Chains A and B, each alone.
Chain A
Amino acid sequence: MRFLILHIFCFLSLTVFSQTFSESDIKKLAEQVNKQIKGVDIGNGITAKGCLSIGRTLIYQYEVPGYWEAPNNIKEEIISNLKTAGAAKTYFLNNIDVDFYYYKGNSLAKKVSVKSNEFSTFNIELGEYVSIKDHPKAKEVNLKLKVPVGWDVKEGDRPNIVKKFTNEGNTYLILIKDNVTFFSRKQIREALQEDNFVKDFVQEASSFLKNPQFIDQSIVTIDTYPTVQFKVKGKMERSGLTFPIIMKCWVVFYEDKIIFLQAMGVDNSEFRALELLYTLITNSVIFPEQYN
């Protein structure tokens, strides 16, 4: 509990800074925290010595009594407490590693190192399959894919959005449109060799963004079907409000349909942290009919 109190205090300091931390920002943070905690008795004979930073690592220092022994699960307890306090998410999103040094006099009695990714509050575990077979907006496409654990499965509000997975404002959606005709996988692969075709297609798919900046694009395969994968950021206007948007999109060419698997969010580190999860969802896609 004493660790919790200390780190809530630290977290409040963290929120003063912008969401994207440079090393300089981390240094300023360390200096600020150092002033606030230096000499503070946190109980059980433990006193805060101070805080400093090296690169992207924050280092908290404590003075412990001679009889003090580090609990076996001290690292897990620290991470758990920081998650409860809310600071873990900030460390994770801003790629900040944190070390805890425990001194007995001038001797280092215990050192605990926590990497930023260990502070992750996002569960990147996938759960059960969800199928869109016979869904009224699926346009006869039969596919299934796994939903992340803890995410909600919702119906799409707009005409072509079949389903969407949501969690704390993050969204992964399945959108299906008609293509002009049927295309075999071979025909699509041939078409995708044309750079202009891909470029035009990606631009068209991103046309709802203002000033789109294409970050990357590539041709991949999703369950044997040719797919254009691209990431783009830009600005989107909704109800008069304009905000920065980043989108990771997989465009699957399936028979006479185009399936958009689209993860979109505000352009911040949270989106980047979830990219792995979005990729895992997409990799779980199966078109069962081809195996009948």
Chain B
Amino acid sequence: MRVGLFVTCLVDVVRPEIGFSALKLLERAGCTVEVPTTQTCCGQPGYNSGDAAAGRALAKKVIDEFSGFDYVVVPSGSCGGQIKVHFVELFRDDPDLKARAEDLAARTYELTDFLATVLKIERLESDFRGRITYHDSCCGLRELGVSAQPRQLLALLPGVQLTEMNDRTQCCGFGGTFSIKYGDVSGAIVDEKCRNIRASGAEAVVLGDLGCMLNIEGRLRRTGDETTRVLHVAQVLAGDA
């Protein structure tokens, strides 16, 4: 099974270790994984900023780069949603590219969805121990239906104790450029998320998206919380956390 890993632009620059955790998980599961090294970004920042042309240019690039794989795996619900849902929308007036976008969408999976649904993983090598809570990222949850999959995988780890936080499906306030354009509103939203995380009593909040991760970690640290860990689910599942 040839799997193309789309690491995402934020993992590439800010948290490369998450990309390696994802790679490790896929290889351990027996996949032949390749990371096309010309990959950059799925185009979501442009698309969501109203620049459909930029969105299309990057969508076409991703479609070309990942045309030969059986599956394409993305350690992010947000970029996964862009590829699976919005690429098709971007090419609604271009039958050829629309067909290619649909083909890519059918082969593309968010990481935990792929591990749980396609590979049906039943064993994981991770000695992670701790009390965690899980934040559901918006695009993963609402565009891709990622909710049970990460929990199912985390339940395979005997050392994990999951306590759900209040309003776990509530947005963390990231919203891409929203977090910069409306920093104060975004700050108030993530503040509430941080309160719910702390109230859960968890030692770590685990999640599946870099945007939420940077937003939540940044706010926890700014407000003096030095101890609550913010971890990508790939790190926990791979035993890298």
Whether A associates with B in a native complex is: no
Binding site for B on A (CB under 8 A): none
Binding site for A on B (CB under 8 A): none
